[in-house]
Amino acid sequence: MKLLLHLNGKALSADFTNAEGQAVLTSESTRHAAYFSEPQPGFFTVILAGKVYTCALEKLPNGATEVMVNGQRIPVTIQDPKRLSHNAAAAGQAGGRAVLTSPMPGKIVRVLCAAGDEVTEGQGLVVIEAMKMQNEVQAPKAGKVVELKVTAGQTVNAGEILAVVE
Amino acid sequence: MFQKLLIANRGEIAVRIIRACRDLGISPVVVYSTADRQALHVQLADEAYFIGEAPAAESYLVGEKIIAAAQQSGAEAIHPGYGFLSEREWFARAVEDAGLTFVGPSPYSIALMGSKTNAREAALKAGAPIVPGTANKLADTAEAWQTAVEVGYPVMLKAAAGGGGKGMRIVRSAEEMKSAFETASAEAQAAFGDPSVYIEKYIERPRHIEIQIVADKHGNTIHLGERECSIQRRHQKVIEECPSPLNDSVLRAKMGEAAVNIAQAAHYYSVGTIEFLVDVQRNFYFLEMNTRLQVEHPVTELVTGIDLVQAQIRIAAGAVLTIKQEDVQMLGHAVECRVYAEDPEKNFLPSPGKITKLRTPSGPGVRDDSGVYEGWEVPLFYDPMISKLATYGATREEAINRMQRALREYYVGGIRTTIPFFQEVLDDADFRSGEIDTGFIARYFERKAALPKAAVSPELSNEEIAAVMVAAYDFARQQPAAATTQAVSKWKAAGRSAAFTNR
């Protein structure tokens, strides 16, 4: 099937087929053939020109895909070109609006700003604690805190929206 | 020997102590919080008692609940592990007052060595070298000059009221003293509300080397050589090895003797660790004593062949040490990496969560002391260490090669761990050559930051091709019945087939 790919700062279109363990990836008119198998769910063995690549597939909570290849972590984004139009619209970020999300699951120990505050870039807005460590989440840009979604004492998941700065 | 022993801890160390109990024929009893109902230590125990809510202050730190669980189970002894209640004098005393045995030193030794000033005095009395300097607050620059001359430059100015690097200044000569004294005082005032500073000898590029002590209740004290723990991040050890890459038998004997003297001065029994700083001239200075089992105990076990947890339990039961100092032999080399649920790509942010996949290493010379399993959700309430991976080899090089092999075999899915970080550090030339000190990690990150960013190659590497294939395969199998590409419309197929036969 035809795919649009993003990985390690590269964007490319490619065609992928897999028939009975023979995988073929054609990209930019170069053809890569490999023996391909999934010996255990989520673990893959890819043999490219005799070289063995042990891969583990990782689905992140935010829907992103990462593949660990011989200990090297490679995030891969895949799109079906036929569905690109609405995907692209969804991926687009409203300019000038920065959404602050929690980098980890944890407990909000302090909220250092209030909705409506003018903040500077790098200013600490929220302090989250997990595993005995406190981490300050900072404003990604200067602007006004238009939304503040959390209060002290509350627990949050990774990726949960904390505040919006505009 | 005890019939039944309660473990007042969780995670990998609880599992480690359960194993020692079974090896000694003792029935292991554990306690657990709400967050640990499905924890590995509960699954491996003979009995388990619920002691409270997830925050440690409501469960693993509540001495009365733990002692009550021990009495309910009929356990004769309590092993505190490390962290939590392991170095609380009141807990050791409460355990003994309840008629149980505390698997550790006496409350007296815990209290004595737990105080920095008392420990320093005890070390001095035992004739052990301590970092030169005085804990006296300096009145003015004149007194600072005078003290610095007595101690010898370079010296360190330290805030009397605090730590964490605030109010600290290295002073290399008399000329630097005046401004350093003023800024350190100002910083101390700002950070702690107290401008007082004191002087200590500054030790350049110190190694952190510690001596393992084993002492019984009958006055026999021996040491099991050293561990090198210089690879530290935020004052937290991350890689330890035994012996030190210095591998200096003369220094080992001297430090060992000093450590034994300190332990005896503290009337110490059980296993314990005396920590020293070692300077570039191989002078050593007493730092502190840890009156408990140490996280990095496996490297000593691998090299000496002595099971420290078993020894600790036997000593608590009143056994006499069966080995003498001259029987202790150090053979080969061992390395340990502490696998933390932290993301090395995001400045080591904690990464609690569900372990979706787990592959653990094995084979010659590999020991994985883990507290987790596939499907386990690492709670966010406790220490982020999920496993201690140790490897053993005939030489340091073999031990490190084996560690690299084991790290390559190790896969933890669903959460981030420090495994990729160790893979990089173990490749570092300075680490390989044993040129390490407590500033190693800081310098390592500086070197890494200074490296020019590799240009993005337009060609796909083999690793990238493999990654794309895996991602594409997974993407394709998630498409509803592959309606978009593979399946051809039946109308079209019929049309083609008709066209073919009509030809």
Neighbours of B269 (CB within 10 A): 25
Q: For chain B, how many residues are written?
A: 503
Residue A90, pLDDT > 90, answer: no
What is the value of pTM for the model shown?
Answer: 0.84
For residue A79, what is the nearest residue in chain B, using CA coordinates?
A: B475
Which residues of A fall within a CB distance of 8 Å from B35? Answer: none
Put simply, the answer to whether A69 touches B352 (Cβ < 8 Å) is: no
- Hey, of A6, A25, A30, A67, which one would you mutate to test binding to chain B, going by the most B CBs within 10 A of its CB? A67
Put simply, the answer to whether B351 touches A70 (Cβ < 8 Å) is: no
Put simply, the answer to whether A9 touches B356 (Cβ < 8 Å) is: no
Q: What is the pLDDT of residue B135?
A: 67
Residues of chain B with pLDDT under 50: 482-487
Among A59-68, A80-89, B151-160, B299-308, the range scoring the smallest mean pLDDT is A80-89
Most confident region among A53-67, A142-156, B252-266 by mean pLDDT: B252-266
Put simply, the answer to whether B473 touches A23 (Cβ < 8 Å) is: yes
Q: What is the ipTM of this complex?
A: 0.76
Minimal CA separation from A145 to chain B, in Å? 25
Q: Is B292 a catalytic residue?
A: yes
- Give me the DSSP letters along A86-154: HHHHHH---TT-EEEE-SSSEEEEEE---TT-EE-TT-EEEEEEETTEEEEEE-SSSEEEEEE---TT-
Q: Counting beta carbons within 10 angstroms of the beta carbon of residue B270, is it exposed (0 to 12), middle (13 to 18) or buried (19 or more)?
A: buried
Residue A70, pLDDT > 90, answer: no
For residue B487, what is the nearest residue in chain A, using CA coordinates?
A: A1
Which residues of B fall within a CB distance of 8 Å from A3? Answer: 472, 475
Put simply, the answer to whether A131 touches B466 (Cβ < 8 Å) is: no
DSSP symbol at B26: P
- Give the C-alpha separation, B310 to B377, whole Å: 30
Residue A91, pLDDT > 60, answer: no
Q: What is the pLDDT of residue A88?
A: 40
Neighbours of B30 (CB within 10 A): 28
Minimal CA separation from B10 to chain A, in Å? 14
Put simply, the answer to whether B380 touches A43 (Cβ < 8 Å) is: no
For residue B463, what is the nearest residue in chain A, using CA coordinates?
A: A69
Which residues of B fall within a CB distance of 8 Å from A43? Answer: 357, 359, 411
Q: Residue A62 to residues A66, A136, B413: CA-CA distances in angstroms? A: 11, 22, 15
What residues contact residue B18 under an 8 Å CB cut-off, 6+ apart? B7, B28, B30, B41, B44, B45
Catalytic residue among B16, B292, B396, B416: B292
What residues contact residue A165 under an 8 Å CB cut-off, 6+ apart? A97, A98, A100, A119, A125, A139, A140, A141, A143, A144, A145, A146
Minimal CA separation from A115 to chain B, in Å? 26
Size of interface A-B (CB pairs under 8 A): 155
Nearest-CA neighbor of B24 among B73, B77, B68? Answer: B77
Most confident region among A28-32, A60-64, B130-134 by mean pLDDT: A28-32
